[in-house]
Amino acid sequence: MFFLVIAELARCYVLSIKNGGLPCIENAVETTAKLVNSEAIRESVELYKDQMSRNVSLPTDTVQQLSEANFSCQRDATALFLEKVVFDTDDKCYQELTVECNNPKD
């Protein structure tokens, strides 16, 4: 993952020079963080949905079973997210992950 981040930073920096602009490392870092964090959210939501579909057969016998399965899947998705996320100092990406897991689109 580290090498992908460095490669993306270099790409942004070179692209800025190529386009006649002044390279700004801060802009390159922000752009890279957005890309990395979007991918972290996507992978984590995918893990959550996959685990829920494999571990939960609806209807469950009790609400407690569904709640426990949801908690376990969210915990795993959050762990994956935290391994991959960068510079989420304001927790916006974490909040987006939480919304995605709590309101699946499919």
Q: What is the pLDDT of residues 20-72, one digit of tens each?
A: 887 777 777 788 888 889 999 999 999 999 999 998 888 888 899 988 999 99
Q: What are the structural domain ranges in the chain?
A: 2-102
CA distances from 73 to 2, 69, 102 (A): 26, 6, 11
Distance separating the N- and C-terminal Cα atoms of the chain: 29
Q: What is the pLDDT of residue 6?
A: 77
What number is the average pLDDT over the span 81-90?
A: 91
Query: Whole-structure pTM over 0.85, yes or no?
Result: no
Indicate the SS3 state at residue 61.
Answer: coil
pLDDT at residue 99, rounded to an integer = 93
Whether the CB-CB separation of 24 and 16 falls below 8 Å is answered with: yes
**Residues contacting residue 28 through CB under 8 Å, at least 6 positions apart:** 8, 9, 12, 13, 16
**Residue 46: what pLDDT?**
95
Number of Cβ atoms within 10 Å of the Cβ of 45: 20
Work out the pLDDT band at 1, boundaries 50, 70, 90: low
